[in-house]
Amino acid sequence: MRLRYGDEEEAFRAELVAWLEANVPAAEVLRRPKRSSADLPDWARAWQRTLFDAGWLVPGWPPELGGRNATPVQQMIYFEELSRREIPRSLNPQGLGIISPSICDYGTPELRERFLLPTLRAEIAWCLGMSEPQAGSDLASLRTRAVLDGDHFVVNGQKVWTSGAHHADWCMCFVRTDPDAPRHKGISALIIDMKTPGVEARPFPELSEPDYLDFNEVFFTDALVPAENLLGELNDGWRLTQGSLAHERAMLWIDYAYSLERANQALIDLGDEPGVNGRRIGDDPVYRDQVAQSAIDAQALLCMGYRGFSKFMAGRSAPEHSLLKLFGSESVQRSLALGFSAQGAPGLDQDNLGPQMWRAGSWATQWLRSFGGTIPGGTSEIQRNIIAERVLGLPRA
């Protein structure tokens, strides 16, 4: 589905596309294996800086922060063109997509001055310290403790699943500052230097890709954090968690939709290959039906995304976020499972998906990775709870 907007918007698209065609690094550079989501190799720093300098990193932001005051429709076009071409804006997505907007919205002028431009220019990388061993979906039960002692907070506790923590320079970390307040009211956000004595990041491997170390446990033992690194008001960190997650979700559906379109194309190409019984995979009528269903799902996802966006533009509440996250992440997962099962055993070890997917790897690896999409930012079960309560009006669980 390719929507056409007004002349001004299409002129914006043409300018962006021309700029991308002249400046995007070669495909083999973009596809180099990543070490983690906070590791910024020289080429990635240079690319993010190039986007920033040209006003194409955060086009919706004002020019003094490297943007061009792009309208919401122009921003949508921007994400469409990047997703369609699989172009990353940053190799530290949590720093750019979640933490920099949070600092922009909630930081003091000093924090904004100190952290915003270095983050946007890829001079520093971030991790996001939210989840703990006993606090994931139920984030409000987090226990990492920060006690204000003079001009420092003393932090003790543990985070887990902290993407890229071992390569990050800084962490936006949610801590409990008032253990006596109701759960949502005693939480604050701190900006923590990952080199602080008493902060230890321990990376651990993923099932889907044992050589790729992104997840970490992060331990805090009497770590001293300057009081001026408080982001937002003391004990008002819950407001930031809602803001941070909203930033994370805002245009995620566009990525899911284009990932699904690419996966569907790969499924069509796979149809020419021999399957488990030696016959051409595409001759199996069940396979053909399932590929057709997946193509329909991709179009449905785009329609639902654009409908949510239109409602947002008209100032109406849009429950589509949860529907899009759930349907997008699970549709991608279904399409990858289809390729994997059609191939049978060879799907376990062949690099069959080809360069058109966002990372090289077998169908099986891609399928295992796809679980990563159904968990962060609210698991599929949590999205179903939200849809049941807020969209369908069922009683609260």
- Taking CB under 6 A as the rule, which mask of x and - marks residues 40-79 in contact with ligand FAD? ----------------------------------------
| 248 given a catalytic annotation | yes
The owner of tokens 């199996």 is 284
CB 37 within 8 A of CB 90: no
Annotated catalytic residue within 132, 248, 261, 320: 248
Residue (70 or 142) nearer to ligand FAD, CB: 142
Residue numbers 288-347 binding ligand FAD by CB under 6 A:
none
**Residue 209 Cβ vs ligand FAD, minimum distance, rounded to whole Å:** 11
**Residue 325 Cβ vs ligand FAD, minimum distance, rounded to whole Å:** 12
CB 31 within 8 A of CB 25: no
Does the protein bind ligand FAD through residue 88 (CB under 6 A)? no
What number of other Cβ atoms are within 10 A of residue 353's Cβ?
A: 23
Q: CA nearest 355: which of 47, 86, 44, 78?
A: 86
Does the protein bind ligand FAD through residue 131 (CB under 6 A)? yes
Residue numbers 151-190 binding ligand FAD by CB under 6 A:
161-163
Cα 63 to chain centroid distance, Å, stands at 24
**Residue 162 Cβ vs ligand FAD, minimum distance, rounded to whole Å:** 5
Total residues interacting with ligand FAD, rule: CB under 6 A: 18
Burial environment of residue 58 by CB neighbours within 10 A (0 to 12, 13 to 18, 19 or more): buried
- Cα-Cα-Cα-Cα torsion 266, 271, 274, 278, nearest 10 degrees, comes to 140
**Contacting residue, 196, 208, 350, 385, with ligand FAD by CB under 6 A:** 385
Tokens of 44: 């990635």
Does the protein bind ligand FAD through residue 208 (CB under 6 A)? no
Stretch of residues binding ligand FAD (CB under 6 A), selected from 121-129, 142-150, 194-202, 302-310:
121-129
Cα–Cα distances (Å) from 6 to 11, 77, 212, in that order, read: 9, 12, 44
Distance between CA atoms of 172 and 99, rounded to whole angstroms? Answer: 7
Residue (89 or 159) nearer to ligand FAD, CB: 159
The owner of tokens 């005693």 is 186
Residues that bind ligand FAD (CB under 6 A): 94, 127-131, 136-137, 161-163, 372, 375-376, 379, 381-382, 385
Catalytic amino acids? 248
